[in-house]
Structure 1
Amino acid sequence: MDVLCESAPNDDDCGTRYSSSSSEDDERRDQGVAMTYMTLDSILNDNSRMFEFLRSFGVLANKYVCATCRKPMSCVKVATTRCGDGLMWRCAKDKVWRSVRKGTWFEKSKIKLKSIVLLTYCFCMRKSVQSTCRITGLSDKTVVDWFLSCREICSALMKKRGKIGGPGVVVEFGESSFGSNKYDKGRWMAEVWVWGAVVCGKDHGELVLNVVEKRDARTLQWFIEEHVENGTVIYSDKWDSYEDAEEFDLQSFAADHNYQFRNKVTGTMERYWKEVKRVLEGGKRRRSGLQSHLDEYIWRESVFVHGCAFHSFMQSVGALYVPRVED
């Protein structure tokens, strides 16, 4: 859908399609983001291009139906004094107006669309809060809150994905403690245990990381059933610590799900623990937010080989929050 200009309907710039830049630099390759900041900024500085850009990911609707006449409304440019985004849906016949973010992921946010997209780009680029504040001109509280919203998207995506492994596939299981490090204002963060499982033999393996309340046999059973396909070969050197005839019969559990347990490790999970703790600054995270940071790490691993983390993230938002097209 082309965007109309309320003050100049024949503006040749309206409806311009987004065209990606082919240039790359070391930082973007490292972060798995293919688009440059300059390319994105040029798109966001043109409301028409911004609309088409966001619509291409499905995060904005390509139409909106008038509640009065039930006909499609037009997307028009308006003065930013009327709408900070510079775009609105309009039904000329019934003089009905709606925000372009109506019924979308952006609806409840008071930040301008341009700023939201920049915040999301910085999140995908792993920019620090301070660096993002300088780029967007927003407060650190706003940046932290939006990064939290982005991690919630990562968590939602992790809940929707399937199990790892499969008949004959080797998955290594392990556990590691996070915390017990001196935190801000002289406090200590309580020790938190995380269980993990990874498919062996892949550069960017299929990975699961879960904060657990207890390191007991019942939790182990839940973890494996929840995340690992039947018939998987599971490596671990921790089986002996879960052998409890009264609580958990390891052999019966394996037979019921066709799992093959092996008392060995390849070191794959250990390498991931080191990397996760490096990325999460030694694991010094509050318990309430640790799982979301783990989900973010897994999401980045899953999209690293797909070309552009930013594009992948925006497409995922469009799939999770399908825009409404009517009131």
Structure 2
Amino acid sequence: MSDSPQESQQSTSCSEVENPQSQPSTSHQFEFVETPKWSYVKDVKKKWNVVKVFRMLGTREQAIVFAEENCMIPKSKMCNYHKKAMTIVYTSNKTVGSFTCHKCAHACRSRAKVSRAKGTWFDNVKMTMSQIFYLMYAYANKWSYSMTIKEDFTDDKHCLSKPTVCDWFKYCRETVILYQLEKQTFFGKIGGPGKIVQIDETKFAKRKYNKGRHIEGQWVLGMIEDGSEDLRLEVCPNNIRTAEVLVPLIQKHVAEGTTIHINVGEAYDTLKDHNYILKKMTDNFPANPLCMHTQKIEAQWRVVKQFFSKDLYNRENLADFIIEYLWRRYIIINKCDPFEELIKAVKYVYK
């Protein structure tokens, strides 16, 4: 019998599973899993929206079950003293409860009560589980502070404050940054012998008082391999673009033996001394200007800059927002659910 549509039409999704046979040995693996192409409606319906968050995570019980199913909190714990399974109680912890041993009131209970949230994403949290998941959903979908406060359904009598939303967005961003950096490390460097990597620089700048020429901002180095969507971005430290700064940044992301296409820049000349094949646009212009180009990396800059508010250009943590952009770019390209990807990041960082 012929294969079913589910088996014959496959495409790549963003699920991550462990596969020790095909990947290097590591505690956590990143890999894609095949899903059917034709299930467009099913995939859309499966994605999270604010109504689904309300229906499935609107109560404490629902949120706790969801956290357990996604391994965000432990389901069980053994008493270190009696070596017996501990009981979950909800009197002392407003979020996810505590583990308590009832074997002996005097020998164990006072020192064996442990919060289920200890060492997890929910550690030392004073909010309800529904509010936490709602804020995670708002961050994942890039809501503004005002929209997050306005759409809050978790409490009829109170509303979220802007500092609270700001803090939780910051927690989410920090988690995403750690996750994305680990992901880049796992997948390794781009390029290699016989492959081409385009490199370019741009300045994230704004005009002072919105007048005059662009004088404020930070320089960013971009790298992307031909035939790949794996974009790498690095902020140039102290806006320095010398060979001493740029070459180590390129070595961090680009494998040796790669053919590098650049537009101009004397600082890149020393790449030849580091086992790279360097090709400049000016080398073949005007005789054959189409034989090499940096159009792919140059086309990225407009999209990247649209992601940022100009107020971020001069901030010291611009590098953090650039890493967040790479995480969101991956989600868009692979048509992932932002909320589910944030759950994965939390699970990985708080493993």
2:100 aligned with 1:71: no
Q: Which residue number corresponds to residue 288 of structure 2?
A: none
2:169 aligned with 1:131: no
Q: CA deviation at 1:194?
A: 0.9
The percentage of aligned residue pairs carrying the same residue is 27
Deviations 1:222-259, CA, capped at 9 Å, x for gaps: 1111111223222211243544xxxxx33222x3xxx2
CA distance in 2, matches of 1:229, 1:114: 45
Q: CA deviation at 1:165?
A: 2.4
Q: Which residue number corresponds to residue 10 of structure 1?
A: none
Q: Which residue number corresponds to residue 175 of structure 2?
A: 153
Q: CA deviation at 1:220?
A: 1.4
1:284 to 1:47, Cα distance in 2 relative to 1, 3 A: closer
Q: Which residue number corresponds to residue 119 of structure 1?
A: 135
The amino acid that maps onto 2:250 is I
Aligned 8 A contact 1:183 1:284 in 2: no
1:173 to 1:130, Cα distance in 2 relative to 1, 3 A: same
Q: CA deviation at 1:173?
A: 0.8
TM-score, length of structure 2 as denominator length? 0.71
Structure 2: unaligned runs, 5 residues or longer: 1-40, 153-158, 282-292
Q: Which residue number corresponds to residue 308 of structure 2?
A: 280
1:90 to 1:41, Cα distance in 2 relative to 1, 3 A: farther
SS in 2 for 1:195: strand
Q: CA deviation at 1:64?
A: 2.4
Deviations 1:277-322, CA, capped at 9 Å, x for gaps: 1110347434222111101000112233153221122122112111
Q: 2:69 aligns with which of 33, 56, 63?
A: 56
Give the number of aligned pairs. 278
SS in 2 for 1:103: coil
CA distance in 2, matches of 1:128, 1:183: 24
2:258 aligned with 1:250: no
Q: Which residue number corresponds to residue 201 of structure 2?
A: 175
CA distance in 2, matches of 1:133, 1:286: 27
Q: CA deviation at 1:66?
A: 2.6
The amino acid that maps onto 1:87 is G
Please show how residues 184-195 of structure 1 align to structure 2 within 5 Å: 190-195=216-221
SS in 2 for 1:179: strand
Of the structure 1 ranges 67-76 and 273-282, higher mean CA displacement relative to structure 2 is found in 67-76
Q: Which residue number corresponds to residue 234 of structure 1?
A: 260
SS in 2 for 1:63: coil
1:93 to 1:47, Cα distance in 2 relative to 1, 3 A: farther
Aligned 8 A contact 1:179 1:192 in 2: yes
Q: Which residue number corresponds to residue 310 of structure 1?
A: 339
Q: Which residue number corresponds to residue 11 of structure 1?
A: none
TM-score, length of structure 1 as denominator length? 0.75
- Compare relative contact order (CA 8 Å, sep 6+) and give the higher one, 1 or 2: 1
Q: Which residue number corresponds to residue 206 of structure 1?
A: 230
1:74 to 1:171, Cα distance in 2 relative to 1, 3 A: farther
Deviations 1:10-60, CA, capped at 9 Å, x for gaps: xxxxxxxxxxx95848xxxxxxx9212222222223333322312233221
Aligned 8 A contact 2:263 2:294 in 1: no
Aligned 8 A contact 2:64 2:96 in 1: no
CA distance in 2, matches of 1:217, 1:73: 59
CA distance in 1, matches of 2:277, 2:272: 9
CA distance in 1, matches of 2:74, 2:189: 32
Aligned 8 A contact 1:75 1:89 in 2: yes
Aligned 8 A contact 1:121 1:310 in 2: yes
Considering only aligned residues, what root-mean-square deviation do their CA atoms show, in Å?
2.7
